[in-house]
Amino acid sequence: MAIGIGIGLGRFPFETGKEYFHWVTYCEASGIDSIWQTDRLVSKEPNLETLAAMAAIAGATERIRFGMNVASIALRDPLITAKQCATIDRLSDGRLLPAFGIGSALSRDYLATGKPTKARGKRADEALTLVSRLWHEEEVSFEGEFYQYDRASISPKPANPRIPLWIGGGSQAAIERTARIGTGWLAGIDTPSHTAEVVAAIREATARYHRSIDDDHYGATFSFRFGSVDDPIAQQAIKGFSARLDVDPMALLAIGGAEVIAARVREFIAAGCSKFVLIPIAEGADDVMLQTRRLVEEVLPLFEAA
């Protein structure tokens, strides 16, 4: 398995577009594997729209890959989404890493807009099937519960003829969705032990569907910070996870020196993951750049041989 360490943004920490693209340019030149954008449509915290961000990164870079962590497909139209992804992939010469999930039932994306959460999994299944077919087939006809297509087509197709379709989520439904439709799986913020269980379950499920997913198409996500757990920004993150999740927050975060962060990467490698989205716990542009530089200079070299 080829180890790839990417970096993501859980919120938009920059005051200007210039600061953002300075960070993107550094990531492009540094050896970071990929850039990822968290998807939050309704939020008081600043967040970029993920597909628009992918298009901007495509135009600002030449090497680095980029993806959505993860886009809520049940809230998006599959034809428009397939066309957007194909456009971005074509303009970036095949560097887009599309990743989709259904979003949380408690997300403000649903509650604030009156969208029903019931049956959103079935809606997502239909949408993902359509997205994949539109990427690969000349014409798509489909008669589903939520979508009906009559000889729909898009052109140009993605530049990458094997454009990936990564699925997010750790529920049984997400496992089955990945096994039926996905070409990869990307964990949300989770523990290595539970991630190992999900990876094993996906492998078992893909066998039942007479499919397979490449061993190096399993990814993990976690937040990191070079510093002390006593730092105010670290305490804020710890309290935030404690309030939302019934899990020891320190099992979800890596806060300390390079070896602490590298050790967490190794735990996820042992769980079956080889692709990583590391989200810096930081406040403001300067702190994000500092955390990113330390990741590049102190952690990436530990995995260069892999």
Q: What is the pLDDT of residue 3?
A: 96
10, pLDDT greater than 80: yes
| pTM for the predicted model, two decimal places | 0.94
CA distance 61 to 56: 9
Least confident stretch, 66-80, 97-111, 184-198, 245-259:
97-111
Average pLDDT over residues 89-99: 98
Cross-strand bridge partners of residue 203: none
What's the token pair of residue 147? Answer: 């979508």
Element (H, E) at 179: helix 172-181
> Computed over its alpha carbons, how large is the radius of gyration of the chain?
19
For residue 13, the 8-state DSSP code is -
Average pLDDT over residues 251-255: 95
Q: What is the pLDDT of residue 105?
A: 57
252, pLDDT greater than 80: yes
Phi, psi for 151 (deg, rounded to 5): 55, 45
Q: Which range of residues forms the domain containing residue 194?
A: 4-303
pLDDT digits (tens, 9 = 90+) for 281-294: 999 999 999 999 99
Please provide the average confidence, as pLDDT, over all residues in the chain.
Answer: 95
Q: What is the pLDDT of residue 288?
A: 98
What would the DSSP string read from start to end of 287-306? Answer: HHHHHHHHIIIIIGGGGTT-
104, pLDDT greater than 70: no
Residue 68 near residue 47, CB atoms below 8 Å: no
pLDDT digits (tens, 9 = 90+) for 131-190: 999 999 999 999 999 999 999 999 999 999 999 999 999 999 999 999 999 999 999 989
Domains in the chain, number: 1
Q: What is the pLDDT of residue 108?
A: 84
The CATH code of the domain that includes 211 is 3.20.20.30
Give the angle subtended at the CA of 178 by the CAs of 172 and 183, to the nearest 5°: 160
Only one residue has tokens 């379709």, namely 165
Q: Work out the percent of the chain whose per-residue pLDDT is above 90.
A: 87
Q: What is the pLDDT of residue 244?
A: 81
269, pLDDT greater than 60: yes
Average pLDDT over residues 81-93: 98
268, pLDDT greater than 90: yes
- The band of 111, judged by pLDDT with boundaries at 50, 70 and 90, is confident
Q: What is the pLDDT of residue 262?
A: 98
The CB density around residue 229, as the number of other CB atoms within 10 Å, is: 14
Q: What is the pLDDT of residue 297?
A: 98
pLDDT digits (tens, 9 = 90+) for 25-36: 999 999 999 999
